[in-house]
Amino acid sequence: MSPGKPHPSKLSTPRVGPPSETMSPGLLGELPRARQVVDGKYRLMAKVGEGGMGVVFRAEDLRLKREVAIKFLHPRSSGDPERSQMFLREAESMAKLRHPNVVEVYDVGRLRDSPYLVMPFLHGANVEDWAERQGGPPLSPDEVVGIMGQACAGLQAIHQQGLIHGDVKPSNILVSDAFEVMVTDLGLARAVEEDTGELTPPGTPGFLAPELIAREDVPSALVHKADVYALGVTAYWLLTGRMPVGDDEQEAYAMLVKQLEEPVVPPSERHPGLGVVFDEPLLLALDRSPARRPDAVELRDALFAARDRRHVPGAGQRPFVVLVDDDDGVLTALEAVVRATLHEPRIVAVRDPLAALSVIESRPPALIITDLQMPRLSGVEFVAALRESPSTRDVPVVVLTGVGGARDWQQLVRMGVRQFLVKPVTVDI
């Protein structure tokens, strides 16, 4: 993973809330076993997941001949009435919903006095794992909006039922192999009328809304906006690979403090190549005041609009490429290669590297191709200047030259240059 990118495990920080008492060995049950038949209806095939409160098995529904997922309350929690109640609340909450972007509950039951619930088995992964498999985050804006649009629709359905999810985060959003997205893990879901104004539910640091951290009184009509905040954090992380506040390696308590005390960093500053089109919708979703945050469906529409603006010429989706070389013939050849390789690129060709720095400072490009040997500023000095600026620190750079020694290449590789072209320009980039 690249420097500054939080490892996905950082996003799975244990939920904040009152710790349950340690269970004595005598109260602990046993994990179900593969091939075991549950209630004469389900044959367990394999364990596919395990969290703090539940264990999930892939299973076969023996009556309907279909593949299902069965979530059992973890044996270490089977004697904890509070955890059992949370588990049953998840089943009750999910049973109220019929929406393509919310995991459905097929059945509920008990195994050795421990509850379980039966759901569709989704071939895919949670968003946290899925993003890492794609080499991110960050992911492409089209991928992120495709995920978040469906997640927002699922959360809107939850809110329209008078429920609050309570723990929205990447690991609680599933993506199937067919790119179907479903919100899951409603163990912390609760009805709006259950709230007395003081919000103190468990949750995950970094995704908890400020009003939850500060235990502020919030009108019941705005309680669901805490889920919208968590959606905003999720979208921000997927688009930038970073968290909205503070650094990414801080401990849970430090994260909570910074969420209250520090402003959200605009996503375009975390990931300059993203452009500014997502700044407004995400900063609104992450607003300190729940009253100023959009509803989930409004956030979805704002993300769609931002994505569409990136497809408008000049708005950022067309690749913006800067070419730097003191030879006009080379610039002409490079431009032809870039136009043949990229989709409708917007190209700025500059002979002077100092002038190129001014162009790049006003708008960071998606790609820079520079000569190694130029007057006024060498290619090595030019790349060094790029890496000193936060807005161009991560912009891909290709270095072009007809000469150059091992020392130059070593310096450039240390500065993040990963591709070199040799003059004359006769190959695709």
Q: 143 near 149, Cβ under 8 Å?
A: no
CA distance 182 to 124: 11
Rounded Cα distance between 200 and 286, Å, is 19
352: DSSP letter? -
CB atoms within 10 A of CB 240: 28
Query: 10 Å Cβ neighbour count for 426?
Result: 9
314 alpha-carbon distance from chain centroid = 26
Asked if 352 is an active-site residue, the reply is no
Residue 330 near residue 423 (C-beta atoms within 8 A): yes
257: number of CA atoms within 13 Å, CB side?
6
Please state, in angstroms and rounded to a whole number, the distance separating the CA atoms of residues 296 and 165: 12
Continuous H helices in 56-108: 81-95
Q: Which residue has tokens 């013939």?
A: 329
The packing angle between helices 406-414 and 379-388, to 10°, is 10
Give, in order, the Cα–Cα distances in Å from 213 to each of 181, 252, 314, 356.
28, 12, 41, 46
What residue spans of 277-327 are helical by DSSP H?
A: 279-285, 296-310
**SS3 of the chain: helix, strand, coil, percent, to 5:** 40, 20, 40
The residue annotated as part of the active site, out of 39, 61, 80, 167, is 167
Catalytic residue annotation:
167
